[in-house]
Structure 1
């Protein structure tokens, strides 16, 4: 929210706000896909720890504006891209924590609890951010973000090791201690010379393995009509109708640009999400999770249609109420989709499939924000919301007709 506010205050240009989505979407896609194979090769706890520490350092660089003054727009977006890249690299590893730490029967409930915690943070964070922006500057918000991420890194450090599950190597293990051999000086020199070459060859083999693993994850999603249809539904909701980039512009129209009210938009989305999360048992106990996601995406599109109409007619509180409904629908959609992915994917492939899910689930909103800003620049923010919601509803209907396996998906006993 601080980035949205800072860029809007610097430029008053919808296209500059759209650039935020691009600056986040590109590293999210690239490093999110790379993070999947990494999570299937390395200890997932260590991957998440390094990524979260990188996010904190990037947030500290943004907070340095307290000392050096405001960054020019390209530098601001570059540091934001760095923080997003760190987040994307560790996200597939973090997504495997729930299924590794909980019994399978509790995985849907664990995902729902995770969504509640996320929505509570999203409810409190923007409201707090609006208050801070009202009395201080975006750099103070970035400083709070840096401290929070440092605490997050500490909690990841406290988790147990979580290496990916692999098949045991063939053949019996050698018994007894390994012999100790002290090489001669000439042999030591040869080893020292060959070591960089061996390390380079090993790195090339690992890169080739990572690309192969990534291709396998993408191929599995492409072959499975349930996964493919579920991800297409998510893209319909985010690419075509995500409204967050419109909030500073709509806030300018409805509340005269008051930074304290800007936080209300995201807070209303979160209030709906928390409300839906508290009743998440109604979702996690459903066997036909695909039907749940289809209905949730439909409600999301209708709610954002109402948001666009309210923005067009100047009904401020109706616009905020529509965002509450949209937030509830979004939580139901994400919870049902995540449960299907986690339960249908073997642990050996969970990192790379989670990478695809993460890219779609997070980069989709970033690209959707870019789309919203571009359309708002060509028309108005209200019309951008209206056109996006109608496109979302049309695309969701197309997925329902062409991917009937999504509606037929049932959770096994």
Structure 2
């Protein structure tokens, strides 16, 4: 039942990459909180803090698509190294801004936007390399380990960031982030060259975003991985309502909101820790359908709870289901996609991951204002289950997807 550590044991390159990413994710989590706190200290405006998310969203979408195309053209190791170096330099810029005591928010916004652009270029290159470092049967385990990296960064990074800022100030938090980035740089530097594999006789050429989208349009199983994720993120994403829910349903305060935010991340982390069984599942499409439906069902029940411990439990179950879905969706994108297309499909993945939750926040907030939080949460969860069921009936071949014979 525990996480399968085989990829870490068998591949030194993957082991270094995983460790470097884990350490740097924690540092990035610290910086994310520190930037938010610094913007609020300078402006005293919650709106100004909210602009941080806007500054990162557009670069993620734009550079996610084009970064994936570049990853299908150039040496992915070199691309990952250059983009990781850019992120490291930007962390150093934040240290300099804090040291000189510049009381302006625009440098922080610019750095956040550039960091998002570097991440959007780095992520497709890094994700595309995993399938080259490991055999196909180890990909579910590798993706489960990657989920633990991101959730650990989401949970531990902000907590450490708050402590470091409180004790030693922003300069210390940014310095820790810059230092932790060296682990990711070292891991990327040690990788072998990794040019995209092409069909025999094909020239290097240029990878087009449009070609990647056309390829996706003719591969029903791959399209379903995105459609199912959008069902969860757009229809059943209650994050924007947590401040309201904490007060109205549970009679709590900001600390209660913090617990609600942490519960899905903790569930996702536990889903990664107890992911050993995922490698024995062959029907990945069916697993995705069940996992996304479980997310929607857990969110729907959460909307009916009025006891905090019970609400936290169902949010944690939703987070665990999300990890399961993510593992199999990522595995399908790695195993069923030709290497020359992996970067572009990973770029589309970034756009969905970046845009879906933000659209879900808008939908949940709108339904809550027009009707009620209960309808927004419980109705959204039920809508997610129904939408996934209809998708499964419409595309029956997806449920039959077999990891032993991956068909896109």
TM-score by length of 1: 0.76
Structure 1 residue 235 corresponds to structure 2 residue 230 = yes
2:72 corresponds, among 40, 43, 46, to 40
2:127 corresponds, among 95, 102, 109, to 95
Distance 1:92 1:374 in 2: 33
Structure 1 residue 406 corresponds to structure 2 residue 398 = yes
2:360 corresponds to: 368
Q: How does 1:12-411 map to 2 (within 5 A)?
A: 19-63=51-95, 64-65=97-98, 67-68=100-101, 71-72=104-105, 76-132=108-164, 141-167=173-199, 209-210=206-207, 213-246=208-241, 256-258=253-255, 264-310=259-305, 313=306, 315-369=307-361, 371-372=363-364, 385-386=377-378, 388-411=380-403
C-alpha deviation, 1:42, in angstroms: 0.8
Distance 2:169 2:374 in 1: 28
C-alpha deviation, 1:154, in angstroms: 2.4
Change (3 A) 1:322 1:133: farther
Distance 2:177 2:349 in 1: 25
C-alpha deviation, 1:118, in angstroms: 2.8
Aligned residues of 1:18 and 1:370 also touching (Cα < 8 A): no
Aligned residues of 1:22 and 1:366 also touching (Cα < 8 A): no
More displaced, 330-339 or 136-145? 136-145
Aligned residues of 2:65 and 2:347 also touching (Cα < 8 A): yes
Distance 1:249 1:81 in 2: 29
Aligned residues of 1:17 and 1:373 also touching (Cα < 8 A): no
- Aligned length, in residue pairs: 369
C-alpha deviation, 1:338, in angstroms: 0.9
Distance 1:390 1:67 in 2: 52
| 3-state SS in 2 of match to 1:96 | helix
Distance 1:138 1:316 in 2: 34
Aligned residues of 1:233 and 1:297 also touching (Cα < 8 A): yes
Distance 2:172 2:301 in 1: 34
1:300-342 Cα deviation digits (max 9, x unpaired): 12222344444xx4x4333332321121011000001111111
Change (3 A) 1:323 1:143: farther
Structure 2 residues not aligned, in runs of 5+: 1-31
1:265-302 Cα deviation digits (max 9, x unpaired): 45432321232223323222211111111111112122
Distance 2:392 2:317 in 1: 22
Change (3 A) 1:280 1:373: same
Distance 1:252 1:136 in 2: 33
Change (3 A) 1:368 1:291: same
Aligned residues of 1:35 and 1:90 also touching (Cα < 8 A): yes
Distance 2:76 2:326 in 1: 22
Distance 2:182 2:368 in 1: 36
Provide the alpha-carbon RMSD of the alignment.
3.5
Change (3 A) 1:59 1:222: same
Aligned residues of 1:217 and 1:349 also touching (Cα < 8 A): yes
Distance 2:170 2:364 in 1: 23
C-alpha deviation, 1:140, in angstroms: 5.2
Distance 1:16 1:376 in 2: 24
C-alpha deviation, 1:92, in angstroms: 0.8
